[in-house]
A and B are shown apart, each in its own frame.
Chain A
Amino acid sequence: MAMLPQSPEPAATSASELQPGARTGAALDAVSAGAGKASPALAPTPVSERPWMSLWRIFTLNRKAMVGMCIVGFFFLVAIFGPFFIHTDPSALSNDVLVPPSPSHWLGTTQTGQDIFSQLVVGTRVSILWGLATGLVVTTISVLVGLCAGYLGGIVDEVLSLLINVFLVLPSFPLAVLLAAYVPFKGPLTVAAVITLTSWAYQARVLRAQTLSLRRRDFVEAARSSGESTWRIIFFEIFPNEIAIVAAGFVSTAIYVILAAAGLEFLGLGDVTVVDWGTMFYWAQNNDALLLGAWWWFAAPGLCIALLGAGLALINFGIDEVANPRLRSEARPSKRLLRQMLSRSAGTGVGSGTGTAPFGASRSLG
């Protein structure tokens, strides 16, 4: 699907923010749509300071991002250190069957007397480790595909874009279920591989659009004319300018991965002997926890996923708001203020005061 940088196909290009799983990323769309032409703040100038520093600024300046970081940081600590404090084997059976939360079993027990609290803590490590690792692999693939398609152009772009668009419209979760069912060995690795295969396309498209808008910039032209190699231009000139988008993409991918993995394992397509959040659901569902009134069995892992997901989403909100100041919660100017503005600009023609956005802008934020 050939898409010229400046005349994007409307229906196809203004990818709205609905990243599977994580519905945040408004800034992403500013970039993905209109080939980044109209995105006000994310259209980057060549990096003047280290990109990592600007990421750090986002986290310290924005309150939403701070809260998100605290939540995610807490889960990290539990994942790293939690299992050292758990002395009961999470799979050990006992005679305390279906005990509600109590001092001896903080989160109650399962139908076979396993302690849910220790399952949860041990499972946190597995779920987070695999979630982040998969997210990292997915992000790497989308960076490779997106940047190559955007920068190299021509037939490479044609082929890669078609691939991206096809994978974008195919329903990824049913495809993942199909793949996972066919793979003979069940386990976290299979789940991760299947999710990677089915979820790289969205980010690749966002990055391709952004790369298209960057490749004709002066600093890229300068690098090209000074004889830098193609790979160096792609990964050392262009890539650093897309760090914020890649980071936002990684965060939303991580949410999707954790949700999808839980979904696959809930259907029994993971290794049900491994203790993590998804398999806890599987056992709870398979033992009719609900009909036994054992709410604590499925409440705990779900709350963890929801909290972690919300934390990651908050981080993305923060990145969005820093990258695109227009999204911050500010009141619109009142009628009176509008009238003042109008009378002020009466001599110079009607102007809204925020500058006139290019034509494509109305569609580009989504």
Chain B
Amino acid sequence: MRHLLRRLGFYLVALWASITLNFVIPRLIPGDPAGALMARFQGRMTPQAIHALELQFGISHDPLWMQYIQYLGDLLHGNLGTSFTYFPTPVATVLAQELPWTLALVGTSVLISFALGSLIGVFIAWRRGSFLDNILPPFLTFFSAIPYFWLALIALYLLAYTLRWFPVNGGYDTSLTVALTPDFLLSALNHALLPGFTIVLASVAGWMLGMRNAMITTLTEDYVLLAEAKGLKERRVMFSYAARNAILPNVTGFALSLGFVVAGSLLTEVVFSYPGVGFALLQAAQNSDYPLLQGIFLLIALAVLGANFLADLAYLVLDPRVR
């Protein structure tokens, strides 16, 4: 319990750090992008209109500490400012539209990739030195050294553009209305298959290697040898004895690399014009839409911290020693 509380405290610190970074970065970096934006309107609008816009974009001339408190208060109310690109839609609304897509696509792909990678890792460590053990690690490592978005581009070109097995872009068939109908869900699934496949292909190697290396160490332990000597079924030794212990570092690895995989997946979304957070990130980056960028960063930070905490909980279940 104490352990859990400490971790919780740490995540709160990390959350505070990301929120504060979000507040500090725009104010530290010279150039004042918001001011530059306002300068564009200068002379074409009445001072009152400019003041109204300033209020809307959250530009203020108060002292920093007052701005900070104001900012924290806004965050608590879910007010992330107004997007420049989708003006006058609030950032929170934009993100709320994009988030379900990303959660469904990236969340599922990451879980599949983690489960698949760990499983393959267990098997190739068990059959160490076999053909698969020699072939799979370098092969999949090559895929993980490829930028996610490039793998996505190639897959898109070969499988969707040339062979026409999959739809070329978007998250669903635009002739359908967004609703929970079988038609729509089927179309959404169809559009998610290829992006999901590329994310899995690009990220599976890390977890497979991690699992393999942990398994190899665990397999030399006495209790594994004893289990084999007792004549237990191979499956039982492999999963209940060896893999159960070997998976612990992989769970930590899952948490640590999540941020990276999510970032790669965002770029995958860009390539597939998938209607998720990644696509919003591209829009925001290319249009200097700072409120949206900040909102996306906060959202991802929150998601990754939350997932880390879940991984800690899983660790607690898996490893009785930390209880």
B14 within 8 Å of A by Cβ?
A: yes
**Residue from the list B3, B206, B219, B285 in contact with A332, Cβ < 8 A:** B219
B267 and A266 within 8 A (CB)? yes
B293 and A327 within 8 A (CB)? no
Number of interface residues of B (CB under 8 A): 103
- Answer whether A357 and B311 are a contact pair too, CB < 8 Å, given A170-B17, A291-B161, A365-B214: no
B190 within 8 Å of A by Cβ?
A: no
Which of A182-220 touch B at CB < 8 Å?
A: 182-184, 202
Which of A23, A177, A266, A310 has the most chain B CB within a 10 Å cutoff?
A23
Secondary structure type dominating chain A contacts: helix
B257 within 8 Å of A by Cβ?
A: yes
**Residue from the list A178, A331, A350, A363 in contact with B297, Cβ < 8 A:** A178
A302 within 8 Å of B by Cβ?
A: yes
B262 within 8 Å of A by Cβ?
A: yes
Residues of chain A within 8 A (CB-CB) of B285 are 177, 181, 267-269
**Residue from the list B22, B128, B206, B282 in contact with A329, Cβ < 8 A:** B128
Give the shortest distance, in Å, between B303 (CB) and chain A (any CB).
8
Nearest B residue (CB) for A331: B129
- Answer whether A332 and B290 are a contact pair too, CB < 8 Å, given A173-B260, A364-B217: no
**Residue from the list B14, B129, B282 in contact with A267, Cβ < 8 A:** B282
- Answer whether A184 and B29 are a contact pair too, CB < 8 Å, given A26-B209, A174-B301, A267-B285: yes
A330 and B129 within 8 A (CB)? yes
Give the shortest distance, in Å, between A291 (CB) and chain B (any CB).
7
A48 within 8 Å of B by Cβ?
A: no
- Answer whether A350 and B225 are a contact pair too, CB < 8 Å, given A14-B252, A267-B281: yes
State the CA gap A109–B21 with chains docked (Å). Answer: 43
- Answer whether A326 and B217 are a contact pair too, CB < 8 Å, given A182-B29, A184-B30, A331-B128: yes
Nearest B residue (CB) for A258: B147
A102 within 8 Å of B by Cβ?
A: no
Give the shortest distance, in Å, between A249 (CB) and chain B (any CB).
15
Residues of chain A within 8 A (CB-CB) of B137 are 317
A259 within 8 Å of B by Cβ?
A: yes
Residues of chain A within 8 A (CB-CB) of B311 are 11
**Residue from the list B229, B263, B319 in contact with A174, Cβ < 8 A:** B263
Which of B11, B30, B126, B213 has the most chain A CB within a 10 Å cutoff?
B213
Residues of chain A within 8 A (CB-CB) of B105 are none
Residues of chain A within 8 A (CB-CB) of B199 are none
Residues of chain A within 8 A (CB-CB) of B222 are 350-352, 356
Give the shortest distance, in Å, between A329 (CB) and chain B (any CB).
5
A293 and B161 within 8 A (CB)? yes
Chain A binder among B94-102, B149-157, B175-183: B149-157
The digit string for B3-36, where 1 denotes a CB below 8 A from any CB of A, is 1001100110110011001100110011101000
The digit string for A1-28, where 1 denotes a CB below 8 A from any CB of B, is 1000000011110111110111110100
B249 and A310 within 8 A (CB)? no
A310 and B221 within 8 A (CB)? no
- 6 residue pairs bridging A and B, Cβ less than 8 Å apart: A9-B322, A183-B29, A293-B161, A331-B130, A332-B128, A350-B229
Can you name 14 extra interface pairs (CB under 8 A) apart from A173-B259, A309-B145, A362-B248?
A: A18-B256, A20-B260, A169-B256, A169-B308, A177-B293, A178-B22, A182-B26, A266-B270, A302-B150, A314-B141, A326-B216, A326-B217, A330-B128, A362-B218
B residues near A (Cβ < 8 Å) are: 3, 6-7, 10-11, 13-14, 17-18, 21-22, 25-26, 29-31, 33, 126-130, 133-134, 137-138, 141-142, 144-151, 153-154, 156-157, 161, 168, 205-207, 209-210, 213-214, 216-222, 225-226, 228-229, 245-246, 248-250, 252-260, 262-264, 266-267, 270-271, 281-282, 284-286, 288, 290, 293-294, 296-297, 300-301, 304-305, 308, 311-312, 315, 319, 321-322
